Structure 1
């Protein structure tokens, strides 16, 4: 049995850290509120839009204070450990963003399916859950959102989403299905980053 609530909190943590690291990359060391704001919107942006679209009210982070506590803790960890993050990992922001989209694509899909949307709409809502917070993050720090770049990003999410639907159709164990689908997204994205894979240009 999958505890989707715990997975949601883990995804919130990962995305909050990615948002905070993005702000720190822009040298926002003396603007703690700004760092928290970027981390907060990165963490809840996609899920909030998804919940609005499917009519899931009240929104999770408004109903449950644990989401805000996780975000505060995650941003604090990012700020206090910024020298370690930036010194140990080559691309810490991309690592956390990659973990986040893997978790949130499948989580967002399953929550949408719980509201009886069709499979294709669930894929779109999973994609929204995964990438919209990152779009907000990148816009706030004046970067080009990754989804608008030629990088393999949304494509990885769609591949994992399709695999998840296939797993559901053959009654694969939910935990196994979640694990392999989220892992596929993460693996494709990491390989794309490592090897510089990109979508072809439209001429």
Structure 2
């Protein structure tokens, strides 16, 4: 089980590294910038999660995560060199997959170390969104988590689905699959049909 989870975690890191590399390409960064952006995107959320849980930070204990980041970045760079335009939809798709991966991995790890379901959902959400938040801030972009389309909310819904599956007696692997599919499906749906949670009424001007 532990080995399987490790490979899933590596896959999530690699996917988020791809998203970071795509953003670096969009911003015309050099090689060092690519490595930095791919890395903070891939490990930012998991680092925050482990610090909150007072655990050894996962990438400090296992350098294979950096191998996954470098490999994913190199493959993405080679692919991008043959493209003439910036593939924004690939960035958003890679980010959505990474979001779903890290949401369930963060939630699973939090539950493993004794967090309550509510705290586990919160930590899963943090794990999913924090790396992308750092990436977008570095690049002076409005973070995806703050834009109108559902983003962090998809992690919460996916986390609730995970906990629901757990209460129904499903195995850990099945719960993770349910959480992943729900998170990814809602995020892709939000991207396609612009789902959002309206708070304020549309307005043309603000009274001073």
Same fold at TM > 0.5: yes
Q: Residues 85 and 92 (structure 1 numbering): CA distance in 2 closer, same or farther, change over 3 Å?
A: farther
**Structure 1 contact 85–92 (Cα < 8 Å) conserved:** no
Count of paired positions: 200
**Structure 1 contact 78–85 (Cα < 8 Å) conserved:** no
**Structure 1 contact 86–92 (Cα < 8 Å) conserved:** no
Please give the residue correspondences for 1:129-140 in structure 2 after superposition, counting only pairs within 5 Å.
129-140=127-138
Q: Residues 155 and 9 (structure 1 numbering): CA distance in 2 closer, same or farther, change over 3 Å?
A: same
CA distance in 2, matches of 1:202, 1:77: 43
1:160 pairs with one of 158, 161, 166: 158
Unaligned 5+ residue runs, structure 2? 202-208
TM-score, normalised via structure 2 length = 0.91
**Structure 1 contact 45–132 (Cα < 8 Å) conserved:** yes
1:70 pairs with one of 58, 68, 71: 68
**Structure 2 contact 26–86 (Cα < 8 Å) conserved:** no
Q: Using CA pairs below 8 Å that are at least 6 residues apart, which structure has the higher relative contact order? A: 1
SS in structure 1 opposite 2:148?
A: coil
Please give the residue correspondences for 1:1-203 in structure 2 after superposition, counting only pairs within 5 Å.
1=1, 3-28=4-29, 31-57=30-56, 59-83=57-81, 91-203=89-201
Residue in 1 that maps onto 2:205:
none
TM-score, normalised via structure 1 length = 0.93
Offset of residue 174 of structure 1: 2.2
Question: Could you give the per-residue CA deviations for residues 95-147 of structure 1, whole angstroms, max 9, x where no partner exists?
Answer: 00000111111110010111101111101100010000000000111101111
Offset of residue 89 of structure 1: 5.5
Unaligned 5+ residue runs, structure 1? none
Offset of residue 84 of structure 1: 5.3
Q: Residues 187 and 85 (structure 1 numbering): CA distance in 2 closer, same or farther, change over 3 Å?
A: farther
